[in-house]
Amino acid sequence: MASEESTQVDALMMEPISKLSMLLTGFSIFWRFVSIFINWSLAYEYWMEEAYGYCGWTVGSILVPMTVTSVIYIHTLKAGHSGEKRILERGVYSNIVISYLFRDVYALNYALKYTEAKRRDDQQEEIRYYQKLTTEECNVSFVRLFDSFLESAPQKILQLVIVLRSIKDFTCNLLII
């Protein structure tokens, strides 16, 4: 088994990638899908309750961040030439959906390939995948800043509207009684 020691190559200090780090990335991927499922379920629930405004707001708070962050992510990949091949081989819509759903998968893939190269003691591949991993993690972290703001701000506004409307209804009912 490969050692968990730092490796220094030129000016690059390669810290070992722990199994915990890869496990947490896997959890991040899993929870992203859970979050998407919950949001779409909420939109469906609003639709079934005929609360079309809430449904539209929820769908908008899913689709707008998905599109904006995917465009930012794709632009970041193109600017760094790190994902140009995987971008050019797909269409526009699949780029948006795939980059939204699977951005963490690329980082996990590079971490696994790095670990495999370290196990084989292949220094060149180890350096290559480590650099790809760090670049991918930087790109994903940058996009997460936009993602967290663009997703949470509309949802918080919707929650406030729902609470304020229900308080108004609750207050009116108390005054009648």
Does the pLDDT of residue 2 top 50, yes or no? Answer: no
pLDDT score, position 153: 79
Hey, what are 127's tokens?
A: 């350096």
pLDDT score, position 37: 92
Tell me the β-bridge partners of 99.
none
User: For tokens 């005054």, what's the residue?
Assistant: 175
Radius of gyration for the chain, computed over Cα atoms and rounded to the nearest angstrom: 22
Tell which residue, 90, 115, 95, 87, has the closest CA to residue 25: 115
Task: Between 129 and 87, name the one with better pLDDT.
Answer: 129
Q: Are strands 7-9 and 12-14 parallel, antiparallel or unpaired?
A: antiparallel
Phi, psi of 17 (to 5 degrees): -95, 120
Tell me the β-bridge partners of 12.
9
pLDDT confidence tier of residue 46, bands split at 50, 70 and 90: very high
Inter-helix orientation angle 19-48/92-120, to 10°: 160
Mean pLDDT of 111-140: 88
Mean pLDDT of 29-53: 91
pLDDT score, position 140: 85
Please tell me whether residue 102 adopts helix, strand or coil conformation: helix
Q: Are 17 and 114 in contact (CB under 8 A)?
A: yes
Tell which residue, 30, 42, 40, has the closest CA to residue 66: 40
Hey, what are 80's tokens?
A: 């760094």
Hey, what are 32's tokens?
A: 């992203």
Does the pLDDT of residue 1 top 50, yes or no? Answer: no
pLDDT in tens, 13-38: 777 788 888 898 889 889 888 988 99
Does the pLDDT of residue 67 top 80, yes or no? Answer: yes
